[in-house]
Homo-oligomer: A and B are copies of this chain.
Amino acid sequence: MPLSPEQLAEIEELRSHTQPTLRATVPGMEAHLYKAQPVLDHGFVRVIDYMGDDSAICQAARVSYGKGTKSVQNDEGLIRYLMRHWHSTPFEMCEIKLHVKLPVFVARQWIRHRTANVNEYSARYSILDREFYIPEPDALAAQSVVNNQGRGEMLQGQEAARVLEILKADSTRAYDNYEAMISQEGQSGLARELARMNLPANIYTQWYWKVDLHNLFHFLRLRADAHAQYEIRVYADAICEMVKDWVPAAYKAFEDYRMGGATLSATALACIQRMLKGEEVTQENSGMSKGEWREFCSVID
Q: Which residues on A are within 8 Å of B, measured CB to CB?
A: 3, 6-7, 10-11, 13-15, 17-25, 30, 33-34, 48-52, 56, 59-61, 63-67, 77, 80-81, 84, 86, 89-90, 92-93, 95, 97, 99, 103-105, 108, 111-112, 114-115, 117-122, 124-125, 133, 135, 140-144, 148-153, 155-156, 159, 162-163, 166-167, 170, 173-174, 177, 180-182, 184, 187-194, 196-202, 206-208, 210, 212, 222, 229, 255-257, 259-269, 272-273, 275-276, 289, 291-292, 295, 299-301
A133–B295 Cα distance when bound, in Å, is: 42
Residue of B nearest to A143 (CB): B191
Q: How many copies does the complex hold?
A: 4
Q: Are B266 and A255 in contact (CB under 8 A)?
A: yes
Known: A104-B201, A181-B166, A261-B268. A92 touches B66 (CB 8 A): no
| Complex alpha-carbon distance, A166 and B199, angstroms | 12
**Interface pair B170/A187, CB less than 8 Å apart:** no
A56 CA / B97 CA spacing, docked (Å):
11
Q: How distant is the Cα of A151 from the Cα of B192 in the complex, in angstroms?
A: 8
26 A-B pairs whose Cβ atoms sit less than 8 Å apart in the complex: A6-B65, A7-B66, A13-B67, A14-B67, A21-B23, A21-B30, A22-B34, A49-B51, A49-B52, A63-B208, A103-B197, A125-B149, A133-B197, A140-B190, A141-B190, A143-B192, A153-B188, A166-B180, A166-B181, A200-B200, A200-B201, A255-B266, A256-B265, A257-B265, A260-B265, A269-B300
Cβ contact within 8 Å between A264 and B262: yes
Q: Report the bound CA distance from A56 to B61 in whole Å.
A: 29
Closest to A182 in B: B143
Contact check: which of B103, B114, B122, B261 meets A266 at CB < 8 Å? B261
Q: Main secondary structure on chain A at its contact with chain B?
A: mixed
A4 to chain B, nearest CB (A): 9
CB distance from A270 to the nearest CB of B (A): 9
CB-CB under 8 A from A191, the residues of chain B are 141-144, 150-152
The CA-CA distance from A276 to B299 in the complex, in Å, is: 12
Q: Quick one: closest B residue to A275, CB to CB?
A: B276
* Known contacts A11-B66, A124-B229; A199/B197 CB under 8 A: no
Evaluate whether A210 and B95 lie within 8 angstroms (CB atoms) in the complex, with A20-B20, A261-B269 already known: yes
